[in-house]
Structure 1
C-alpha cells in the first residue's frame, strides 16, 4: 500500500513489549543490549516475512504496520514461535506480550500518526509475556479465522488505561504456543463486592427479565423492587446483576448496601464503597454524579428503607446529572419519584416455594421429604423465601412434622402494625435461632454489634474470645447453614454478614451486659487492626494488609463514630491518625475528615492527645491546596508537642515542608526538615530510611548534582529492595529514574515503567501520580507529545477526583508543555499562567523548567508583552474546574480519530 504524507488511511499494527525489561537491565546490565538485539532480529525477521514493516523501536519493544490483519496475526505467531525456540544462554527466555489492532491513522514523513497507535499500545499493556491479543477491529478484519490455523478466545470486556469505554478483547490461541494466562494486567473491576447467594435462583424469572430489558433499553432510569421484609428483594437484584455481569456489553455494576446509613450520608456511603473521592468545593452527591456522568453503570441501592427520603433525593440527582446510569433500588416502600418503575414482589407460588425448600434441604443433606408436609411448612411460612431458607436449613436437625408443630404452637411476638408477611420472617428467625446450641446462639446474639461484614478473626475476637479455631469454624458453619449469617465474596478470604432481620432479632434478644462487653471488644479489635495495618502496610506484605483494611474499614469507621459520640478522645485520636500513610498514598480524603471532626468536637482543644490529629489534618489541608489552614494546623501540632507533651507528629512536619515548597515561600525551616529526617532515620523499619534517602536524592537532582543524586538513589533502592515493601521499591525506582533521566532517558523510562507497575499493584496512587508524571515528561522529549498526552489525561481525571491539588498543578504545568508541542501556544501559555496565578511552584526537573522558560520567551517574542499580559489576566480568573477542562481539551486532539 502506497500512501502520501498527510493522507488518512486504515492499517493494522502489531505491537510488541518485552515483559520484565527493567529487571533484565538491572540483573544483566552488560548483556542486556545483546539480548535485546537478539530479540529485535527474531521479531524483525518474522514481521518482514509476512510483509510487515517496523517503523518504531523502543528499548523494550517495537511497532510494525501491515496491510491486513491476517498478515499481522501470522507475523505475531511466527515471532512468538521464534522467541520460544531461541537459545537464551544462562538467562531466562525473553517473553514478549503482543497486541494487534486495526485503526485509522494519518501518514507523516516519520511514519503513521494517530489515536490507533495509542489504543494498540494500551491493548498490549494488559497482556502477558507469550500472549497475543486482538482488538475487535483487528478480528473484524480477518475474514476466516480458521484459515490462520488458530483459534480465537474471547476475554470479554476489559478496561484499558486512558480509554474511556471498555474494550472487547480476544486472545490468539495457537496449538504450539502457551494458551493459559492470568487475568489481564491493570484490568479494572467490572463489578463491586456484593452478597453471594448460596442457593439457585427460584421463581421471579419474569421480573428479572423485565428489569434486564429496561436496563438494556434505558426505558426505566429508576426501578424499585419492593415488598415485605424477607420476600426476596435483594435476591432478585442479585440475579439481575448476575445476568448483566455475564454479558460482555453489560453495564458496570456498582452495589451499595444502605442499611444503617443516615439519609444525609448516602452520597458518602456510595462513594466510600467504590473508592470515589470527594472533590473540593463539591458535595458528596455532586462529586459522585460528576464521576458517574457518561459511564454505563447499573447502580444498585440495596436496603433503602432506613433512609428512604434521602434515597429519593439522591436518586433524583443521579438521574438528572448522569442520564447514562440506571438505578435499581430495593425497599419496602416506594421512593415516590416521577417515572419510578415499580416491581412489587408477592410471596412465591407454591410450586416455587416447594422447589426452594427442597433445594435448600438438599444442600444440608436431606433428600427424603414428604411433599405434603413441605407444602404445609411453606404455606405456614407464607411462602416467604427468606423464611423458607431458614427453616429448610434446619431440616437436618428436625423432621418436617416437628417443624410444622413448632410453627403451629410457637407464640408470635406482638408487633403493632406488622403484617403477616413480616411476622412470618421473624417467626422463622426465632425458630432457627432457638434450634441452635446454646453457645452458637450466644455468639449469634453477640454478633448483633457488627455494623457490616466481618471475618473469622473479628468474629472470634468479639463474640468468642476464648474459643479455639475449630470451635469458631463450627459455629460459623452452623450459622451459615441455618441461613442466619450470610457469606459474602471478598477475594480469597471468607467474610460474613448478619442480615438485617437477623441482626434486629439478635439485638432485641441480647442482654445489656453481653452487648456492652461485645462493644468493648469491637473497639479493642478496631484499635488493634488499625495499628497492625499501619505497620503491615510498611512491610513486605503490603497487599495483604491493604486487603485486610478494605475488609475492616467499615468497622473502623463505625467504632470511630461511636467514640466521637461517647467523647472517647483516646480511641478517636488513635483511629484518625494510625492510618495517615495509607490515606496519603491512596488519596483517601474521607480519612482526613475524621481528624477534622474530632478537632471540631473536642471539649479541650489543648488536650495533648490531639497533637498528632492536628498534624494529620494539616496534611489533608495540603492535599487540597489550603496553605493557610495547613500552616495553622501544623503549627498547632508542634505547639502541643512543646507545651503540653504531645506526641511527635511526622505528618505535621511533612505538611509544613510541602506547603512551604509548593506555596513558593522560602526554603522549609531547617529545624523542621532535620527533625523529620532524624525521626525517620531512628525508626527500625526500612520504609522510613527509604523516605530519607529518597528526599536527599531528589534534592540533589533538583540542584543538578547528577552523580550525587544517582549514588543516593542507588543506595535508596538497595534499602527498599531489602524491605520488600512494594511502595518503597516503587518510590525508590522513581527516584533513581529521575536521577539518571538527564544522562540516560531510555533506562530512566524503564525504571519508571517498573515503578508504575509496582505502585499500581498496591494501589499507591501518590506514587502512580509521580511515576506517570515522570514518564510523561520523558516521553514528551524522547517520543513526542502523542506518547505523553494519555498519561497526563488520566492524571487530570484522577487528581481532581482525589482532591490532590498540589499534584494537580504539577500535571497542569507539564500539560502546558505538551500542549505547546502540539501547536496550541496560547492555551499553553494560559495554563502556565494559571499555575503562576495559583502561586504553585512545584519543583520541576531542570529540563522541564528550562522548556517552560523557552516557551514563555518564545510567546512573548512572537505575540508581544501586551498579549502575554492579557493571557495571564484571563488565566488568573479560572477556577480549578476551568483549568482542568482547558488542559484536557488541549490534550484531546491526540485522541481524535484520524
Structure 2
C-alpha cells in the first residue's frame, strides 16, 4: 500500500465518470499490523484476508464505489460523492467487526479525503489528493475511520447510518506543510475510543518532510519495511546516487506508527572524525552531555526500555565506529531497531542487508512509446523532475526515445537523472541525450543545499574512489577494459599483476562488490557475472588512461577474448554448440570491445578475431555488424595468411546473407585460391560450400559441381561434419531441379552425417529442408513433423535466420490446410525477422507467402502491396523462378481487384522472366492463371493442356490450395468451349514443349493487350 509518501499514481477508475476537473472522494484502507500476523499465522491470515477482501468489496459495490487499485489487503477506492464513501466505510467496519476472526484478528484503518483530480492524457491519476488520503489512513488506528475537513464539508455534517463526527483538531500529516483538520466517524456498532492518532504532533521523530514526490520503488519500500519488522539491524547498501537515503527515510517515515518511542535520523555524512559517531546519535536524540558522561551512556539513558528506530545515514566513511557502536547499542537496548545506509555492509552480527538497485529503466529497444517510458521508474522520475524544472515539459512520442536513452545511459541512478534534468533549462531532451556520454562534464548542476559530493556526478564517484586502497583502485581501473560484464576467470586473467603479493584478484573483487562499486549477478547456477555501472566504468577508464596502463590492460583483455572466440569457433561445429553460442552471446560486448581496440592496434589479430566470430554472427543473425567488421579486417590486413583466410570465409558467408552476391562470389573465390596456397583443405571445403550457396540463384547447374567437389575434399580431409554440409548443399541443388524425393533423401542423409559428427548447429537446417521436400510432395504429416522439429531446434540454438525460414514453410502448410490465423501469424513473424536481419531475398519470400495468406483471408487489397514488394526485390536481387512466382501472385490479385490491364502486364512480365530457366515448378500455375483469366480465347485450353503435361512430367502433386485454384480455372475455361474443342485444344497443349507453351502464353497476353 503506497500510503506514506510514495508516488500516488493510480489507474483511472472506469466506473466513476470523471470530467476533469471534478471532485471525488477517496477511501484508502489497510489492515493494521498485517506483516506480523502473516509471519505468525500464515494459513489463518490467508483465509482472513480473503474474507476481508470480500467484505470490503461488498460494501464498496453497495455504495457505488470503484476499487481502482487493490494491493494485497490495501484498497484504494473512488466515489462520486462523499456520503457514499462514508456509508461504505461504516458498513465495511460493521461487517468486519461482526466476524469471528479466530487466530488472525483483523483490524482495518480507514482514511477519507475529497479533492479535485485531473486525469492526464495517459488516464492516470496524479496529485496531492491521493497522497493526502493515504496519509489520513496511515494516521488512523485499526477499526478507526478518519476524514478530512474537505470530506466533512461535502457531507454538510450529515453522516449516514446514524453516525456522528468527532472533531480531532488540526494535525500535520507527514510530507504536508499545511495542517489538516481531521474528524473521526463514530457510528453505532463501531469502536469509538482510540489512542492519539499517528500524526506529526503525536509521533516523536526528526525525519525531514519530503519536498519532492517519492517516485517509484513501491516494492522496495515494502521490502525494507518488512525487513525492519524481521531484523533489528537492516543496512541499505548500494553505489552512490542510487537513492539509499531517500528510500530509507521514506521507509522510516512509514514506520513511525510502529515505534511508539520515536524514529530518529542520524546524519553521519558531515562527520570528519569517526570518533564523533556516538555524539551525533546522542545529538539527534536531544541528549545533552553533562560533565564527563560518555555519549554512549547518554544514548542508553535516552533509549532505555524504549521501542525506537534509529536511522544511521551515510556510514561508509566512518564504517568501523558505526559498526562498533551499532553492535553495542543492539546488545544493551533490546527494544531498539537500527536502519543504516552505506556503500558497504557494517559487518555486525545479525545484520540484514538490502541492496538498493538502480531504478527500473525503459527497455533496450531503439523505439519507445511514452507509456513504456512512464512505466519505468527512471522514466517516471525524469518526467516528474522535468516538470518541476520546466513546467511546460511534456513527454511525447517524439521525445520518448531520447528520455529512455538518458535513463539507460545513466544506469537508472536517481541522482544522475536529477542532475541531468537540471540541464533542461538550457538543453532540449534530444540535445541532452546526445551529450549524456560526456556525463562528468555535463552533470554538474546539483542543488547548492546538497552535500558537496552530490552536486556533481564526478564528486559523487570521487567520494567512493578516494575511500579505496591502492590495490582496489588499480583493479577497478583495469576492470574498465571490460564491457557489459565479466566472469571471475576473465578478471583474474586481465588483472594479472595488478595486485600486491599479500592479496588476490578474488579478494579485491569481493571488496569492490562489498563497497557497491562492482555488481555481482548470478547468471547460471555455476557462474557469477560481474559488471560495472556505466558511470563507474567511464570514471575508472579515465583513471586507467591517467595511470598509463590502458594499453597493457586492453592487450590482456584482447588476448583473453581472442582465445575464447577461437575456442568457440571450433566448438560451434560440435555437440556443445548451444552452450558456446550462449557463452559468446553473453560475452558479445567484450568481444566487440576487443575488436574495436585491435582494429587499429593489431590488424592481424583483428582479422583472426573477426574470422573466429563469423559463425556466431551468422547463426545469431548479426549479419550487418559482422559484415562491416570483416570487410574492415580484409582492408586492414592484406597479407596472404591464415588470418586473412578466416576473415575471407566469414565475409563471404555474411555478404551472401546480405545479398551482396557478386561481392560474396569474389571473396569466396579468393578464399578458395588462398586456401589452396596455404594447403588448408578444410578452409577450401568451407569456401567451396559457401560459394555453392552463393550461386544457388544461378540454378542447380552452378551449384551441384561445387557441392560434389566439397564432398570429395571433405572425405579426403576426414571432416565428417563438412561432408554432411556438402550433402546438404547438394540436396539444395537437387531440390531446385524439382527432384523432391531424391532431395529429401539427401537432406535426411545430411542430418544423419551431421548428427553423427556432433554438429548440432547445422543438422536442424537439413531437417528443415527435408520437411520442405515432404511438403512439395504433399506428405503433409511428415512435413509438419520435420518442420516442427527443425523449428524447435533452431529456436533452442537461437538460429533466428533458419527459424524464420521454417516459420515461412509452416505458414505455407497452415495456408494449405486453411488455418489462416496461424498462417498469418507465422508469415508475419518470419517477415519481421528477415527485415530485422536486413536479408532482402528471404524477406521477399516471406512477403510473398504473407500476400497469399491475406488474399485467402479475403483481403486482396492488403495482399497486393506485399506481393508487389516481393516482386520488386526479386527483380533486383533474386532468381527468375522467384520473380515469376511473385509476379503471378501480383497478377492474380490485380485481376481479383478488377485491375485487368495491370494484371496482364504482371503476367506478361512473369512469362518473360522464364527466359533461361530450366525448371520452375510454379510454371504450370502461371499458365493456368493466364488461361483462367482469358477463358474464352482459343489458346486458354491449350495452356491448360501444357500445364497438365508439365505436372505429369515433373511429378508435381497438387496441394489443396493449388487444387482449388486449378479447378476454378478449369471450370471457367471449359465453360467457354464445347467439349470437343476443349479436348482437342488440351491435347495440342499436352504435346507442346515448355518453350512452345511459354510462347503461346506470351502471344495470348500480347494479343489481348492490343485489342
TM-score by length of 1: 0.50
Specify the structure having the higher radius of gyration (Cα).
2
TM-score by length of 2: 0.45
